[in-house]
Chains A and B, each alone.
Chain A
Amino acid sequence: MILQRLSEAHGVSGHEEEVRSIILEEIRGRVEECRVDAVGNLIARRKGTGGSTLRVLAAAHMDEVGLMITQVEDNGLLRFAKVGGIDDRVLPARAVLVGGKRVPGVIAIKPVHLTEKGEREKVIEWKQLTIDIGASGRAEAEKLVQRGDCVVFATEFRALAGPGSAWRTVQGKAFDDRAGCAILAELLKERFPFDLSAAFTVQEEVGLRGARVAAYAENPDAAIVLECTGANEVPAKQDVSPSTRIGLGPSITIRDNSFIADPRLVEHFSAVARAQGIPHQYKQPNIGGTDAGAIQRVREGVASIVLSVPARYIHSPAAIMELGDFENALRLAREALMRLPEALQA
């Protein structure tokens, strides 16, 4: 299943090759044109039925947050830096995989028996942590890994809810944004009224980098970004918003920290969802940022919108997503794109 393969693939920002290969294999029979650009974006073109000359870009990012080895110590332990935004608190005692050879390692932490009072109240800064791959010294370590190698969390994809549950939840790493990539790959099976440019972008997590370049090249009139966004449903005392919830359908972004969605597109996606009976929700404003932030301001501006699959615990080793939401996101994207030219007529 494409979502599982994509989730388990390694693709920390700057090293998306493996993800790109899987996607390329998946879509190569569906598109008329395909290229890899100067920063590594995979950009495909799917011809339309000829009903519209609207230029449309759909984008999802291939990269995930992770770590990068910065130093091999004399004692064989590895120092690292964070690639993209990771909360330091998820790092200690984590199992990881290092480099192209997928060398297993663990992020070591002092045993609790040996910590002092007060120490356990403080967050350990990432700079203090090391990865242990079991090497006895620098020479042995350097046979297996080197500076610059990328590190991902060693998380397997697995189903959580069994048959009989109202939910079909799955757990895995990198649903942000392999879920978006899987949806985009599926969308390429359709023929829309217009020619569709599909950009599987690189380096979103380190500054929306690939999207900017892809949008400049494709020069669209409108863009839809397919993402995976955070759902924060851990019980809280106050009556506060969870941003999104799993099981309630894909979320439409009205505004986040990177952009304000084109109101016509928000209205269009909402109307299509209502008409087609697709459950949907709205992401809490002012949280996070996506490739839309870069795409919207390219050249003279692009009308943009973000459609997301909600998932709990994104940017941590394991996230939880509901497959019904995933399928409804695909449905809503497909139906809304089919009717897009009318919506932007005004």
Chain B
Amino acid sequence: METASLVKELTEARGPSGYEAEVRAVVRKRFEQYADEIRVDPMGNLVALRKGSQAGDTRVSLMLAGHMDEIALMVIQVEKGFLRVTQIGGFDARVLFGQEVVVHGTRELPGLVVSVPPHFTDPSEREKPVPLEKLFIDVGLPPEEVKAAVRVGDVVTLRGRWTPLAGGYAASKSMDDRAAVAVLVLCLEELSRRRHDWDVYAVATVQEEVGSVGAVSGAFSIRPTIAVAVDVTFGMQPGLSPAEAVKMDAGPCIALGPNFHPLIHDRLAATAKAMELPFQVEAIAGASGTDAWPIQVSREGVPCGLLSIPVRSMHTPVETVCLRDVERTAKLLTEFICRLEPGFAAALATPDALSAAAAPLPGSPS
């Protein structure tokens, strides 16, 4: 499968948080060929199950989560033919000014994000970015026609423009997190050619950008033994220090920190080393800002890992990724899954080596 065309298809699909129907259909077509079972849950998550070869009724399962929703805008008021908007998810309003958007009204309308033109502003105003409250969307139609075509609550997406760059890089809207959904597709495809013991639930989650709503619900229903989220992280670019960003084209990041089980981190890192696959380590001191955060505290707790694809200019229409990193992430995830032995689950729950000669715990079967 060609990575570039896969990522292009996924990033071009529209799917604002809460309105993922279009992208879900695209992902479903990609997932279902490799799934034993596929379903859409009450919140809209797409859940594809690949059964593993383990024997027995008590099965161990791994949940993979990559979110399919994207940040977007929503119409809050129609005023003299112009549209006032609010954010769905977190934008830097500075990137919106002058951008091309698509207004999803009774029909799709192309629009521009505008404000009072520079010629008509006070010079001191031009020194500050235009706040969201002063931005409007202009669809270039007479006010009565706008009123008929656009209503309060209509969603507005960024116009997707897939831009292949030199050196195997590409820019588009929604690399966050469609690049990760691409990883799930590539992983499922490869798993269909290989053998794995663990059941795999590949979940394209909804509404991550507005509070991981999909992940919270999905983890509760699926009750996985462990979970690995796939998301994006900050790729190095001017203005960022090595403490805040990771290298581009140096492989996926495996995260360390309170959100992640050390043994899952260790197993991912060991797998990458055995494959001689480049990878990086990301230390996250608290909330990871990904689906892994709520999944970890679902029900009685779920040991988690996180693989992150380096992306520059996150949460803008020109998120930039190195496609080799997408492929590496998929390869690592696949190999990790294929090497998971059923006993790995039990290994995660033992008391640490530090505790007195790992003597059996009171009440546990010895």
Cβ A24 vs Cβ B297 within 8 A: no
Chain A residues whose C-beta falls within 8 Å of the C-beta of B362 in the assembled complex: 28, 31-34, 44
A38-B285 contact in complex given A13-B258, A25-B355, A32-B362, C-beta closer than 8 Å: no
Contact of A17 among B296, B299, B300, B354 (CB under 8 A): B354
CB contacts under 8 Å to B, within A129-152, are: 147-148
Residue B243 CB within 8 A of the other chain = yes
Residue contact A37 to B300, C-beta cutoff 8 Å: yes
A38 CA / B241 CA spacing, docked (Å):
34
Check A68/B300 contact, CB under 8 A, given A21-B352, A34-B362, A79-B243.
Answer: no
A212 contacts B by Cβ under 8 Å:
yes
Does B300 lie within 8 Å of A81, measured CB to CB? no
Q: Which residues in A have their C-beta under 8 angstroms from that of B285?
A: 67-68, 70, 81-83, 206
B42 within 8 A of A: no
Is the C-beta of A160 less than 8 angstroms from some C-beta in chain B? Answer: no
Residue on B with the closest CB to A18? B354
Residue B106 interfacial (CB < 8 Å): no
Q: Please indicate the chain A residues that have their CB under 8 angstroms from the CB of B242 in the complex.
A: 71, 73, 79
The docked-state distance in angstroms from the alpha carbon of A153 to that of B101 is 51
Interface string of B121-158 (1 = CB under 8 A from A): 00000000000000000000000000000000000000
A24 touches which of B283, B350, B355, B363 (Cβ 8 Å): B355
Residues of chain A contacted by B289 (CB below 8 angstroms): none
User: With A13-B258, A39-B296 given, is the CB distance from A206 to B354 under 8 Å?
Assistant: no
Report Cα–Cα, A41/B301, bound state, in Å. Answer: 10
Known interface pairs A31-B362, A68-B257, A70-B285. Does A39 touch B297 (Cβ–Cβ under 8 Å)?
yes
Which residues of chain A are within 8 angstroms of B303 by Cβ–Cβ distance? 38-39
> Once A and B bind, how many residue pairs between them come within 8 Å at the CB atom?
117
**In contact, B286 and A20 (Cβ under 8 angstroms):** no
* Cβ–Cβ contact B287 & A206, under 8 A: yes
B256 lies within 8 A of chain A by Cβ: yes
B354 touches A70 (CB 8 A): no
B351 at the interface (CB under 8 A from A): yes
Binding site for A on B (CB under 8 A): 241-243, 256-259, 261, 281, 283, 285-287, 296-297, 299-303, 348-352, 354-356, 359, 361-364
List A residues at the B interface (Cβ < 8 Å): 13-15, 17-18, 20-21, 24-25, 28, 31-39, 41, 44-45, 67-71, 73, 79, 81-84, 127, 147-148, 202-203, 206-207, 209, 212-213, 216-217
6 CB contacts below 8 A, A to B, read A14-B257, A35-B361, A36-B351, A38-B303, A71-B243, A213-B297
